[in-house]
Amino acid sequence: MTISPLQTARYAYEPKLPLILREDVKTIVPVLGEKTQSQSDREALSKLFPNTYGLPKVSFTKGSNPNTAKKLNVGVILSGGQAPGGHNVICGLYDALKKANPESCLYGFRGGPSGILEDKYVVLTDEIINSYRNTGGFDMIQSGRTKLETEEQFEVCTQVCHKHNINAIVIIGGDDSNTNAAILAEYFRKKGEDICVVGCPKTIDGDLKNESIETSFGFDTATKTYSELIGNICRDANSSRKYWHFIRLMGRSASHIALECAISTQPNICLVGEEVEARNQSIQDITNYIADIIAKRAANGDNYGICLVPEGLIEFVPSLKVLISEINDLVAKNEKEFSALHTTASKIAYIESLLTDESKKVFNSLPESIEAQLLLDRDPHGNVQVSLIETEKLFIETVKKRLAVLAKEGKYNGKFSAMNHFFGYEGRCAFPSNFDADYCYSLGYNAYFLLSAGLTGYLSSVTNLSKPAEQWNAGGIPITMMMNLEQRHGELKPVIKKALVELDGKPFKYFEKHRDEWAVTTSFLYPGAIQYFGPSEVCDTTTKTLALEQC
């Protein structure tokens, strides 16, 4: 197989670790800190997780660690959507495992959680690992979205672990995947099984974060990839000066990607879902905001610009949020009847007949194409797939109508030619940036020390990430610490609470301070491609968001 020179060079890249993890593996010792609690629903969660709730935080120090001499068999699972750096998590885990005891074995379960249920695996070797170091994608063992949530599934996991003498499972995934990891860890403890479960925080959406998980891996690479593409479009727009580009960006439950890309490229407009919800804005309010900026730029002779739209925006519009919640519940409760309908028109009519009067009014105000998209197949968690809802096209339509009204009122005299884009899959499997290569390798390496100490129900945690890698801190936090109860499939379920954009946080405040200027004055930035070789200040920097949060 022929490989590119860049790929060859990336194989040879040696990821940087926090100082404590650079010590001899036999001298890295876990230190238990204060016990933890969830942010909300404490009583209910403590009852749901009697064996793993309230565990202490973990850090590492130098000492003597006899546990590392043990032979361990570990299973690893990639769960959910791809994110740059997943391979390096596996590489870091593998290297630490083998350094501690070369007889230890790493089983890669193929195709996500279904791999352990079906006992589909590959025993990972130096040859396999070395051919995936510092590369994007999840193709080493592939991923999947099967949920581990039933007693029957957990019992199958138990039997597979017994069959291969597996001592621990590492689940690399986002909030839902790590929620499943916490439930599996609780099940093993309840059944008296000495099998540890450790998670690693993955999602390009950036919504799996707190003080101990400063960013989820893949966010840095994905946003830099999108920012390069946005910067290219900014330059094209500034060259031809005749198109308004409406760009929808991946990120279903939070606007972190859109905000990061806005700070990196300085577009004329960037919508932030959390602000839309806080201001109780309607589709018409948002439309008016966009149209007013277009009119102001047209008055200066600038009939072009860039508008960023977060993928999940539609769920932040209060009236639409209520509507979508109703539809999700109706589809879940009437699944048999709904599935029996074979035309879009019949599905629209059926759901419309069940909606409350207020939601029916909102539903009927949408273009039929958006109505249809709201009824498409749900994701495995019963939620609408917002990636299939073309919000950018919705706003192109509504803005066009609003500009026609402004023109009649003598408030707009310009030309509006719009183009739409969706940037999502382009960023999920990119070559990881140096930051993500280092961070992911550290997460995997770090995970070994948690599981070797017999700790279960933990997330691998590496912090102080805006500083050079040698100043990073390594440890672990209990997954239950990040959980709350949310409505899923019509029932309250324990899930990791998603971290939304904080409107009083430094990144949003920076954006808010500058956006009015960027709106009218063309101030585009052109970040260019991710750089892997050269000065550290060019190649090793993390996101603008994290730098602002920790400045």
Catalytic one of 95, 205, 302, 540: 205
How far is 399 from 74, CA to CA, in rounded Å?
54
**CA 146 → CA 21, 44, 156, 192, 216, distances in Å?**
33, 26, 14, 25, 21
- Using CA atoms, how far residue 246 sits from 295, 374, 380, in Å, is 16, 20, 29
329 is catalytic: no
Q: How far apart are CA 172 and CA 381, in angstroms?
A: 18
3-state secondary structure 312-324: CHHHCCHHHHHHH
User: Directed axis angle between helix 175-190 and helix 151-163, to 10°?
Assistant: 70
Is 426:225 a contact under the CB 8 Å cutoff? yes
φ, ψ (nearest 5 deg) of residue 46: -65, -30
411-441 b/e with 16+ CB inside 10 Å = b? Answer: ebebebebebbbbbeebbbbbbbbbbbbbbb
- Tokens representing 510 are 């920076």
Main-chain phi, psi angles of 27, to 5 degrees: -115, 10
Cβ count near 265 (within 10 Å) = 26
Q: What would the DSSP string read from start to end of 334-369?
A: THHHHHT--SHHHHHHHHHHHS-HHHHHHHHTS-HH
353-356 contact pairs (CB < 8 A, 24+): 354/330, 355/323, 355/326, 355/327, 355/330, 356/326
Pairs from 485-488 (Cβ < 8 Å, separation ≥ 24): 485/40, 485/41, 485/44, 485/45, 487/325, 488/381, 488/382
Which residues form the catalytic set?
205
